Chains A and B, each alone.
Chain A
């Protein structure tokens, strides 16, 4: 894995102009954004398919009339208020006479000739927290190493191959896995949570659960819960070993904020507006076509001081003496 890990963020591009889209795509490529062009007419259905976005880029002539475009912006805002909507104006005078309430739907406007306001939005809303490269690279490495060794937890994971996607930033607050775990991360330089999300079906497929007699063991979902819990525990331990020094004084005064989970809307709030650092891993069973997606989110919602971050080990290989007995 290279030393540099560029963070990216997905943005939904609602723009009908092919010429402008080329320029927007170029801008995205240069600024760590993955522009997802939408061609469907059912935007809200598309929106619900992408639940790990950083922002929405909307052009003022996307719908047939200005009123329709405003209506769409309102629908998006109602469904996903955490996503900044940036409006591309086809004329500098458009939307200037909007009432305050409607103007607030957009965090900024830009024109294709002057995209600098868009750059500011990205810095302010998406890449607002600095994540040290060693931290991003280290998390990815230690997680892959842990996932590759899952067979120590469950023998049927021994033919698992792990594929990692580019780490990304999301502002979305949607929980998209079927099952998730949370564990606090606390040190003198960070306070927040690691959340793992995955899908029950994938794990049960890899375990070959359908072949088992359900009466012989605990209910299938409990098996999934137990595996996810122990994986979370292993990653938590590896994170502490890798990134939190033995003599770290800890967080000191520890403020707390409630975490809100709305099951109805599959929504989680860590109480802060900060975007989250995310990783996605695909575990593939080499013996068949079964796969398990694992989404790993880091929400440093309580304290974040990356300048105090220190990497304890330069490489995962340096600290992987796990499983060895140290006799006293």
Chain B
């Protein structure tokens, strides 16, 4: 089963987005911030897609992606940012770190489900 790591400090987002993806046949692991996300990815090589917020305590989402590429040397995992941020310079930073896509919250599941399936396969 396709495995997705959902990283968001908001319990509401983890419940709603995670619940939606699970209901649609995707296996979801959750993390509460970038640091937790990094640890969960290290522990589970089966994760193929990360959906992450940007603004989080302890470690933000973009720093997490940069560390995934540089410290873990993992260039294979796909990353999509799900955030309220829409600043182009942030998107540029994400693109430079190998982020595949950007979604400005709120999350509308149906429109992205197919892409999530492909990226997590």
Contacts and interface: CB of A to CB of B under 8 A. Distances in A.
A325 B80 contact: yes
Contacts of A240: 84-87
A139 B88 CA distance: 22
B79 to A, nearest CB: 10
Interface stretch (A90-98, A118-126, A147-155): A147-155
Of listed B10, B13, B84, B88, residue having the most chain A CB within 10 A = B84
A322 B11 CA distance: 20
Main secondary structure of the interface of A (DSSP, over half): helix
B84 A323 contact: no
A308 interface: no
Contacts of A233: 10, 55, 84, 105
A152 B107 contact: yes
Contacts of B94: 328
A302 interface: no
Nearest to A149: B106
A324 B100 CA distance: 14
B11 A226 contact: yes
Interface in B4-49: 10-13, 16
Contact of A325 (B55, B103, B106): B103
A322 B106 contact: yes
Contact of B99 (A237, A241, A246, A328): A328
A321 B102 CA distance: 11
Main secondary structure of the interface of B (DSSP, over half): mixed
A195 interface: no
Nearest to B96: A328
A152 B106 contact: yes
A227 interface: yes
B12 A237 contact: no
A236 interface: yes
Contacts of A319: 86
B83 to A, nearest CB: 7
Interface residues of A, number: 29
A237 B84 contact: yes
A301 to B, nearest CB: 22
B112 interface: yes
Interface in B90-121: 91, 94-95, 99-108, 111-112, 115
B65 to A, nearest CB: 12
B84 A246 contact: no
B9 to A, nearest CB: 9
Contact of B10 (A149, A155, A226, A324): A226
Contacts of A246: 87-89
Contact of B105 (A218, A227, A322, A328): A322
B12 A328 contact: no
Contacts of B108: 152, 322-324
Interface in A205-246: 218, 222, 226-227, 229-230, 233-234, 236-238, 240-241, 246
22 contacts: A152-B16, A152-B105, A152-B107, A155-B16, A218-B11, A226-B10, A226-B12, A229-B12, A233-B84, A234-B106, A238-B84, A240-B85, A240-B87, A241-B86, A246-B87, A321-B104, A322-B106, A323-B104, A323-B106, A325-B101, A325-B112, A326-B101
Given A237-B85, A241-B86, 17 more contacts: A149-B106, A218-B11, A226-B10, A233-B10, A233-B105, A237-B105, A238-B84, A240-B84, A240-B86, A241-B104, A322-B103, A323-B107, A324-B108, A324-B111, A325-B112, A327-B115, A328-B95
* Nearest 4 A/B pairs, CB to CB: A237-B84, A323-B108, A152-B106, A226-B11
